Structure 1
Amino acid sequence: MTTITAFQSITLDGVMQGPGRAGEDTRNGFAHGGWAGGFADDVSMSFAAEGMAQPSSLLFGRRTYEDLLGYWTTLERPNPFTDVLVGRPKLVVTRSAGRRAAYPRTELLVGEAVETVGKRKADGGDGMTVLGSGELVRALHAARLIDTYVLQVHPIVLGSGTRLFAEGERADLRLERSVTTTTGVIIAQYAVR
């Protein structure tokens, strides 16, 4: 069976909304976009590069897929993130059967996330890594389809914004690895028990 890893940047109070840049995600009046800026260092880049070297498909919700690839493909190249995002196989969950993939190596999983991703997971193959895609992560978490969480916990409390975990059932996790960056970010890898 295929494993699913959720790779997420969050604040100390669990907010995952809009870490990359101002205006990235302003839903519900969120005004703190870009909060993760200034925290990257050699430690976090090395950890990310290690993850990018693993054979896995990238799994996205439609909105994150369009936003993330739309942003990174406009930046100057060479750029390791753009090359990985474009070159890696991508799976995009969408409820719209009429959608078309905007970027190469993309397969659309049309339907409800739990059903389409659950079937893909059961079919086997390389692992899947979810980047961002909060709504998707919360749905997969509730259905117990996520095997591993890699959380980059930033030393910030925002007080508002969409949180990674919604209210729901308890989930027990086992810490497998942790790294502290020079900027105070704790990168923690947890397996779901």
Structure 2
Amino acid sequence: MPTITTFLSTTLDGVVQAPGRPDEDRRGGFAHGGWAAGYADEVSMAFAGEGMARGGPLLLGRRTYEDLLGFWTTTPEPNPFTDVLVAAPKLVVSRSARTALGYPNSTLLAGEATSSVAALGDEVGDLTVLGSIELVTALEAAGLVDTHILSIHPIVLGSGRRLFTGTVRRDLRLQRSITTTTGVIIAVYGRI
């Protein structure tokens, strides 16, 4: 079984829905999309660069896969994220075996998320999950996540999809923390 690391942006009240753009995810009438705008700085970009330099396959839920690749492959200005996202091997979890994957280096894992991921052999390498809150919640509930990287933003929204709903207690150990110039705390938590 590969090592699984999640990477999520969250508010102080645990909201993880649509940090990037107003139209990113309006499910449930969510009106706060794009809440993470303006919080990026040199510190957070350097940390993101560390992760990109490690490489390795990405594990994504279908919805995040379509949104993330759809956005970054249509961004007009060259940026390092597009090249990394397109080049990286992508394992895409979907309940439907009919899901079409429209980007290179993509492999479908059809069926129930936890059993599909648990069936992966060590040969796939260490996996990084970007966003994909439904997938993260399922993997965490099944005890399959090794490390959580949380970008905790100094904002409270009061509504939206939250992190770790419906999971059981799990004690974690802080492995690393970084504070950015904009007040974001990047915290790396591992299993005990």
Instruction: Tell me the TM-score normalised to structure 1 length.
Output: 0.97
Decide which moves more: 51-60 or 138-147. Answer: 51-60
Decide which moves more: 51-60 or 130-139. Answer: 51-60
Aligned sequence identity (%): 64
What RMSD over aligned residues (CA atoms) do the two structures have, in Å? 1.0
Note the residue ranges of structure 1 that are not aligned, 5 or more in a row.
none
Task: Tell me the equivalent position of 1:133.
Answer: 132
Task: Tell me the equivalent position of 2:113.
Answer: 113
Query: How many pairs does the alignment contain?
Result: 192
Runs of 4+, deviation exceeding 2 Å: 122-125
Task: Tell me the equivalent position of 1:163.
Answer: 162
1:36 matched to 2:36: yes
Task: Tell me the equivalent position of 2:180.
Answer: 181
- Rounded Cα–Cα distance in structure 2 between residues aligned with 1:27 and 1:62: 15
Q: Which amino acid aligns with 1:130?
A: V
Q: Which amino acid aligns with 1:136?
A: L
What secondary structure sits across from 2:186 in the alignment?
Answer: strand
Decide which moves more: 106-115 or 77-86. Answer: 77-86
Note the residue ranges of structure 2 that are not aligned, 5 or more in a row.
none
What secondary structure sits across from 2:47 in the alignment?
Answer: helix
Given that residues 151 and 186 in structure 2 are in contact (C-alpha distance below 8 angstroms), is that contact kept between their aligned partners in structure 1?
Answer: yes
Query: Cα offset for 1:96?
Result: 1.1
Q: Which amino acid aligns with 1:153?
A: I
Given that residues 55 and 126 in structure 1 are in contact (C-alpha distance below 8 angstroms), is that contact kept between their aligned partners in structure 2?
Answer: no
Query: Cα offset for 1:77?
Result: 4.1
Alpha carbons of structure 1 residues 85 and 50: separation in structure 2 relative to 1, 3 Å: same
Give the alignment of 1:133-152 within 5 angstroms: 133-152=132-151
- Rounded Cα–Cα distance in structure 1 between residues aligned with 2:123 and 2:81: 26
Q: Which amino acid aligns with 2:153?
A: H
